Each structure stands twice: as structure tokens, then as C-alpha cells.
Chains A and B, each alone.
Chain A
Amino acid sequence: MTRVLTAVATLAIVASSFGLTSNVALGHERRAVGPYTFVVGWLNEPAYVNLLNSLDLTVTETSGGKAVEGLEKTLKADLTFGGSTTPQPLTLAARFGLPGKYSGYVMPTKTGDYTFHITGTVGTMNVDEKFESGPGRFGSIESTDPLQYPAKVVSSSDLAARLDQLQTLVIAGIVLGGLALLASAAGLVVRRR
């Protein structure tokens, strides 16, 4: 009896470890596309800005759950940030030892919503699907600010915003300085008269 319990416990631990290491069920969007099921999300979730990440695409046959392989040759994927009109093409690659799973690496540099656009063919079926991050789908790219310790690192976008503010202040200072010079010159002219 003890051996049986030990075996069950071992199986439970192994099964739960799959659950912990597999990201498929955590924050991925599952969608039926013809006879296939597409599961799309970030490979590493929660997904953080300025950290290497990847498209995590899984394609299976809806009936039977058989993994569909070889799609790195027939599918294309690109990534779009917000309303941008210049998507970033991703190099789709089959993941080693994981049939039906594909990756496309990218480093998101801004927080917010991203859209994976997958086009091409699966078998004889044309595919043109967009998967957008958001609640109930897969996670948006998040800031690392709350996680930074002990020192906060200023992000490049924050730095750019601060530089913009500084530029505005400098321009305002130059204008004020110019006005002060003009006023001084006018004062001198009046005084000489």
C-alpha cells in the first residue's frame, strides 16, 4: 500500500512539474483555425520589456490533438506594437524536441499591447490570423520597474521623455534670456537718452 501511495505521489509531482514548466496554459490564446487549433502567446510570461522573449506558437489538429510539424516552412509571423504600420518579421523556427511548437525570438522594447500576425498555409488551408495581447488572451508587455531592486534603472523611453522635457526647458530658458537681453538693451538706450 505504501508503495502504491509513493508511486501516486511521484506521478502527481511529475504531472504538476509539467504544469509549472509548460507555459501553454498560462496566458495564451487558443483559437480554432479550420481543422487546427492555434495556441499563441509569449514564450516567457509574464512578459517584460527589454528582455528577450519569443512567440510561442503551438499548432495541433483539433480532432485528435496531433501536433502539426514543418510549419516553419509554410507559415510566416510578424509582430506589431500598438497601431504601428511597420511590423517586425519574426524568424519562425520549430522548437527542438517539441513537435507542433514554434518560436520566433524578439526583444520587446516598449510596454503595451502587441499583435502577432500569422500568415501562410497549413496543409492546403490558408492562414491569416492576428493574435493581440490583452485580458483573456495573452499578456501584454509589462514594465520591470516594480521588480527592480535595489536601484531603479531608467528605461530608454523614460530617458527620451526626460530629454524632451529638458529640451523644452532649455528652449524656454534661451527665449527668456533673449527677452531679458532685449529688455536690458532697451533700458540702456533709454538711459542714454
Chain B
Amino acid sequence: MRRTAVIVACVLSGAVLLGGAADAHANYVRSNPASDARLVKAPTEVRIEFSEPPDPKGSDIEVLDTAGKRHDKGDVRPSGDPNGLRVSLEPIADGGYTVAWTTTSAVDGHTTKGSFAFVVGNGPLPPPPPVPEVAPPPSALEIAGRALSYAGIALGLGTAFFVLFVAPTLTDPRRDSSLLGLAGALIVVGSVALMVDQGAKLPPRLGVMLGVRAFAGLVLATVAITPRLALMRPVGALAGGGVMTLGPLATFRPRRMIALAASIAAAMTATLVSHATALGSLKSMALDFVHVLSVSVWTGGVVALLWCVLVTRRDATAEDARALGQTVWRFSVTAMIATALLITAGVLQAFDRLVLIDDLYETPYGIALAVKIILVLVALAIGAFNLLRWGPRLRAGIRARMALVRDTVAETAIFIVIIVAASFLTAFAPPAQPSAAAYDQTQHVSGLRLEMLVASAGAGRNTYVLRVHQGLAPVGDAEKVAFRFTMVEHDMGEQELVATERASGEYVADGSPTGMYGTWHIQAIVRLTGREDVTTVFTLPVGAPTGGSTTSQVVTIGPYTAIVFTDPATPQSGAPITMFAVLIGKDGNPVTGKKLSATFSGPNGQPAIDAIEDAATLGPGRYKFPIAALDAGKWNIAITVGNEGSGPYSLDVSR
């Protein structure tokens, strides 16, 4: 009974260490209409792009007017954009609308929620919706399912690895069979629990992955209870890469090879439903897989050492003690390599998931991670103590088996405590969240997390957003939030924009303070009642758009050259677009006083527009074409200068 308890504890500890692997959340990245957009033309659909693939079946997009009446048709389906969904709208009148979205990650079935607003016409934006619970914590069933299946993976992989490569001759095959059988059962039960938790909204891809995992668990359970048949040798050889075992090991080695292959397959499914896979990063996937494998070899190996060796072998004689010491030493070396890989992969993953080192004590995810790290270090310290204290004694022929068992049990107890930390780790989204902003930097100042997001890295009109959090709790009702802009390369004076609170803890300002290419300092000032101003400086490089598309084109118009571009640089359908033309003469000087007009041909009709010349505001030779809205598609625009000539300009408007 006691031994069984030890095994269960060790298994659970494996679950803990694997628990942080999967944290997929499909978060809002961008939309059309954009958040806070002011449209002159009512949209016919709403399209939202998420950070991870959403499952349309478990997702919903509601478009509500200020009275709460729904105006979407409920036909949520893939938009054709990467990770995008769309919903059709009924004809809507001028006014403010709130888009409330709920989506389920196709990778691991996690649900996320959010909302944003837009306005058609000149009315005000709807009041900021209450900040929703972006990522509800997973249910108890989900946590249990994850824990059980991860425990099974760790136990199966660790045991198979141990009996194949660490102690192939010392162990009784019946004992590792019991561990492999338990591992298979845990994987099957855990996978079924996760499927039940998802219920009808189980994304197909996740269903396939859980099915593969459950099948791997069945294979593990089967090899554990199947008699040692020589018939299994070819299958085992196949799983082991073609190595056909001969001699005394031939009876049980094939089964162990199959068990190892099945465990690796199950471990692979853990990575394939993880945040790393959802982000589509091969590096993150590789790190995640290494993390899972190394944790399994270590924790499962501890269980196998305890159950298959320590509780069965005796060290009554010096000979026995030395043999036991050799086995312990081989496992120690294996465990050291595994923990080195585990720590390396974990640290590299943490760099991707944490924004600041302060996240480790300020955010729920970070706190859970920190607790996990500390406990793992304590477990490692005990392991090191075993290695340095009891290992040499055994190898010297001195009895130390019981002390080793006692310390291994202590190590196991620490693993159990880690379960709590891992449960929290899976419950919270990591602090590093994707955004569509061209500039996204976070600083920790006076106990506050200040995240500055700038919509575009180009010169001209821009949107500046400051998210203010204490830990992960938004700091709302600031007395004042202001941005002060100074240019580094030139003395352009200091300009200030005062932000308004769009949602709790999210402060937004629009303007054109960064109108010149170069390096700009943005001093963010947050004034909270009763305390000193919190202020910090962000450095924003402003330049020509790189990497993405640009609308800037050089157009020859009769004797003139025009540089034509739009604001925004990536125009969206239905939203206002301003097209600028800088007219330059043959002498290289700006040309003023001309009559410019633009004629459109594209997806549908669009009346010609005459340019506005406003040298006082725009500068000499600069002409502005205010376009109310264009439909999505490719537009060919002929720009004419009086009777002197015409030149072609093309513009892609996204949906």
C-alpha cells in the first residue's frame, strides 16, 4: 500500500512538471472594423483575426447596438485570413456598436472572450464595455485530465527509458509492467476526461490529438498485460529503429521498445496541443518537446528507480550494495542530463512567455512558475544529495538503501506540492500576449506594468495606447494619463497628448506628434490619486514601413513627379482613407497651386475626388484627397493635374 502511494505521488509529480506545457489561448489581434473605428459606411460583416487558430464551432461573434440588440446573422465561419473568423451583419444604421467575441482555440480548446467597439457615422463610440474575463480558468475536470495524462506520459516514458537504458538487467520485468500498465491507464483516463470536459465543442484537431494520445495509452496498457511473446520482437524492433534483440533480453526488450515509442507518441501530442504549436514556432515546439521528454525521463525514472530497484534490491552484502550503487549512479547521470535539458528548455521558454523578470512575482502565471522553479530546485537539491552522499557509500559497499528510499520519498513529497503550482500555471495565460501593434514595449515602473502600444511605426497620424496594470489587474480611473513626445535627432519641441480611458486600465490617444522620421521619446505619465506620478520613457523608432506592405508610390504625371501614399498605410474597407500626393516639379521643388483630382476604378463605383491643397497645414506642394470609404479589393486610381497629365496609382484595400 505504501509503495503504491509512493508510485502515485511520483506519477503526480510528473504531471506537475509537465503541467505548464499547454497554454494556448486565441486572443484578439486585429479586426475590420478596427477597434474604435469611425466608419462613414456601414460594414456588411465583421472580421476578427486571432493569435491562434480558432474553432468556428466553439466561437461566437455578437454585434450589439447601444440598446443591446443583436445585429449579426450568427453565421460565424472562417474568414480566409490566417486565424480569422467573420460574421455577416444585417443592414445597420448610424450609431455605436459593440462587438463581443468568444472563441475556442482549435489547438487545445481553451476559451477566450473580449469585446471592442466601432461607430458608424458621427455619433459617439459606445461606452467602454466592462473588461471581460479574457481567459476563464480551466475547469477542475480539465486540470484533472491534464494531470492524469501528463502523469501517464511521464511514467510510461520514464519507466521505459529506465528499464531500457539505465538498468536493463537488474529489473524484474513484472515490476516495470505494472508501471507501464498504470501509465497507460492514466493516459487513457486523462484523455477521456479532457474529451468529456470539452463536450460538444471539442475542436476536431484537439479531438484527433487526444484520440492519438488515448491510443498510445492503450498500447502501453496492452504491452503491460501481454505475455512476453517472441512474436512481439519484430514490432519492438520496428519501434526501436530496426534493432532486433537477441539473447535473454529478447523476451521483454521488444515490449519496452514499444512502450517507449508509445510514450514518445503520447508526449508528442502534449506538444502538438501546446501554446508553442499554436504559435506556429518550430523553435518553441522543439523546446516544448525537449521539455516534455526530459521531465518524463527524470520523474518517471525516479518512480522506476524506486519501484523497480530500490524496493526490490537488497544491500545486505558489500557486493549487493556496490551493484545497487552502480545502478543509482547510472540513473543519476541520466537525471543530470535530463534536468540540464529541462532547465535549459524551460528557461528559453520562459523568455518567450514572460515580458519582464518582475512577472515572476507580479503575475499569477509568473508566481506559479516561480513556485514551480523553486520546488524543482529543492527536488534537484535532494537528488544531488542522494548522488553525492548515498551514491558513493553504496559504491563503496556500505549500506545506504533505506536512506536513499527515504530521501527519494521526500523528493516525491515535494513533487506533490508542485502539483498546486502547475495547476495554477495551466489556469493563467502567460504575460506575453501577441498584439497587432507595430510597437509594443512593456516597462515596470514603481510597481506598475506600463505597456505602450503604437499602431503604426510610420510617420503621421497614429494611435497610442498605454495599458496600465498592477500585476495583471488593470489600473483604471487614473486621474490623468499623458504622453509627451520629443524627437531625439532634432529639437522639435515637446508635444503632449492626453489619453482617455477606453477600457479599464487602457488609455488611448490619437494624434500626429511623431510626424517626422527618426527616433522619438514618448514620456508616459500616469497620475493616480494620492500618489506621485508614475512616469517612464519609451523610445519609438519612426520610419518608412518595413517588412509589410506600403502604399507609397512614385507617380509620373505629365511634367511632374508625385509621391502618393495613404493614411492609414494599410487601408481597410469601410473606413476613412486619406490619400496624399506630394507634387514635385522638374527642378525638384514642390509645386503649388495646381488642381489635382483622382478618378477611381475598382470593385464598384466611386466618384472622382478633387484634392485639397492646404500648404499651411500640410506644407507646400502637398495635396490631400479625403476618401470616405472604399470597398475591399484592388483599386486603380488615375491622378490628374489640371490639363497637364495623368498618372496611375494602385491601392489594395483589405477586407
Contacts and interface: CB of A to CB of B under 8 A. Distances in A.
B174 interface: no
Contact of A82 (B493, B496, B532): B532
7 contacts: A83-B480, A83-B529, A83-B530, A84-B530, A84-B531, A113-B525, A134-B496
Nearest to B486: A135
A188 interface: no
B528 A135 contact: no
B590 to A, nearest CB: 29
B484 A83 contact: no
Contact of A110 (B529, B531, B532): B532
Interface in B445-498: 479-480, 482, 484, 493-496
A85 interface: yes
Contacts of A85: 529-530
A175 to B, nearest CB: 12
Interface of A: 81-85, 110, 112-113, 134-136, 190
A83 B494 CA distance: 22
Among all A-B residue pairs, the 8 with the closest Cβ atoms: A82-B533, A135-B494, A83-B527, A135-B496, A82-B532, A85-B530, A83-B528, A83-B529
Contacts of B389: 190
Contacts of A134: 482, 484, 496
Best-buried of B496, B529, B533 by chain A (most CB within 10 Å): B533
A82 B527 contact: yes
B116 to A, nearest CB: 29
A84 B482 CA distance: 17
Nearest to B480: A83
Contacts of A135: 484, 493-496
A82 B531 contact: yes
A29 to B, nearest CB: 13
B43 to A, nearest CB: 37
Nearest to B407: A190
B496 A136 contact: yes
Interface string B517-546: 000000001011111110100000000000
Contacts of B525: 112-113
A118 to B, nearest CB: 19
Q: Looking at chain A's contact residues, is the secondary structure mostly helix, strand, loop, or mixed?
A: loop
Interface string B3-27: 0000000000000000000000000
Nearest to A193: B403
How big is the B interface, by class?
10 to 19
A115 B484 CA distance: 17
A84 B532 contact: yes
A82 B496 CA distance: 16
B10 to A, nearest CB: 23
A112 B494 contact: no
B234 to A, nearest CB: 51
A113 B496 CA distance: 13
A134 B497 CA distance: 11
Contacts, number: 38
A110 B533 CA distance: 10
Contacts of A136: 496
Nearest to B527: A83
B524 to A, nearest CB: 13
Given A134-B482, A190-B389, A113 B533 contact: yes
A128 to B, nearest CB: 17
A85 B532 CA distance: 9
B491 to A, nearest CB: 13
A68 B493 CA distance: 33
A64 to B, nearest CB: 32
Contacts of A83: 479-480, 527-533
B482 A112 contact: no
Nearest to B389: A190
Contacts of B527: 82-83, 113
B159 to A, nearest CB: 30
Contacts of B528: 83
Nearest to A110: B532
Nearest to B535: A112
Nearest to A85: B530
Contacts of B495: 135
Given A81-B533, A82-B533, A83-B480, 8 more contacts: A82-B532, A83-B479, A83-B532, A113-B525, A134-B484, A135-B494, A135-B495, A136-B496
A136 B496 CA distance: 8
B338 to A, nearest CB: 24
B208 to A, nearest CB: 48
B275 to A, nearest CB: 32
Nearest to A191: B389
Contacts of B531: 82-84
A190 B525 CA distance: 57
A167 to B, nearest CB: 16
Contacts of B480: 83
Contacts of B493: 135
A110 B534 CA distance: 12
B533 A112 contact: yes
Contacts of A112: 525, 532-533, 535
A176 to B, nearest CB: 13
Contacts of B482: 134
B399 to A, nearest CB: 13
Best-buried of A83, A85, A134 by chain B (most CB within 10 Å): A83
Given A134-B484, A190-B389, A81 B496 contact: no
Contacts of B533: 81-83, 112-113
A190 B400 CA distance: 12
Contacts of B484: 134-135
A169 to B, nearest CB: 15
A119 B213 CA distance: 74
Contacts of A84: 530-532
Contacts of B532: 81-84, 110, 112
Nearest to A132: B480
A81 B528 CA distance: 11
Interface in B572-606: none
Contacts of B535: 112
A136 B495 CA distance: 8
B358 to A, nearest CB: 13
B538 to A, nearest CB: 17
A136 B485 CA distance: 12
A82 B494 CA distance: 19
Nearest to B496: A135
Interface string B388-416: 01000000000000000000000000000
A83 B482 CA distance: 13
A32 B238 CA distance: 90
